[in-house]
Amino acid sequence: MTHSYDSEDKLIVAVDCIIFGFDAKEGLKILLIRRRFEPKKGHWSLMGGFLKKNETLDEAAYRVLKKLTGLNQLHLEQLEAYSEVDRDPVERTISTAYSALINTNKYDEALLEQYEAQWFSVTKIPKLIFDHDQMVERAIRRLRSKATTQPIGLELLPEKFTMKQLQTLYETILGETLDKRNFIKKILSIDVLIKLEEKDMTSSKKGSYLYKFDLKKYDDKSKVNFFFNSIKF
């Protein structure tokens, strides 16, 4: 005998996406949009949307990001679900949070204007709607944890970058100043970088060597946890 679901409560399911980007001058950023409908119309919000009947949570998250950023080859990480009964004042809504890392230069500027989106430093995030502040805090903690156990930077840095840019990225994520010598020693020990003959001549007369990631090694190291903090900075 088939059980009927008619008597069960019907709930709305949503996805909310925390999109991080990196700016060499301003550090780690997060992309937010102005909410266009009530409640909380005009307030800052994460990029989100509702799950459709014919899609999975992952598919919904990719659809939302494609619509709002124009990007369709992002790596999304599912974080956790939020199910407080009164988290959305309109309807009982359960939301699953996702995080993504993108190069800020690749974002579609037209969409930025269309959806009133804006990049904010993670140190200057405005008050967000509902429990989105909690989602962002969780995503930042996860990113910091990831930075100590896996390579970071492929999605955030340009294809060619300086060691200083890479160190700035780690310092921004970890929220602390790192010793230059120890940082270089640790990064090189991970063995995911290729040193190029080219130099960035904008930083000094002598210039700084450029690096790029060895994609094969980067992918391999991303699958096996090392401990970045095993060498004290």
Catalytic residues: 116
**Residue in 125, 112, 106 with CA at minimum distance from that of residue 28:** 125
- The residue assigned the tokens 């709930």 is 11
CB atoms within 10 A of CB 145: 10
- Proportion of the chain in helix, strand, coil states, percent, rounded to 5: 30, 30, 40
How many angstroms separate the CA atoms of 138 and 92, rounded?
22
Amino acid identity for residue 16 in this structure: D
Query: By the 8 A CB rule, do 26 and 172 touch?
Result: no
Amino acid identity for residue 222 in this structure: S
Torsion sign across C-alpha atoms 203, 24, 108, 60: positive
Torsion sign across C-alpha atoms 52, 53, 56, 57: positive
Query: By the 8 A CB rule, do 48 and 64 touch?
Result: yes
How many angstroms separate the CA atoms of 176 and 196, rounded?
28
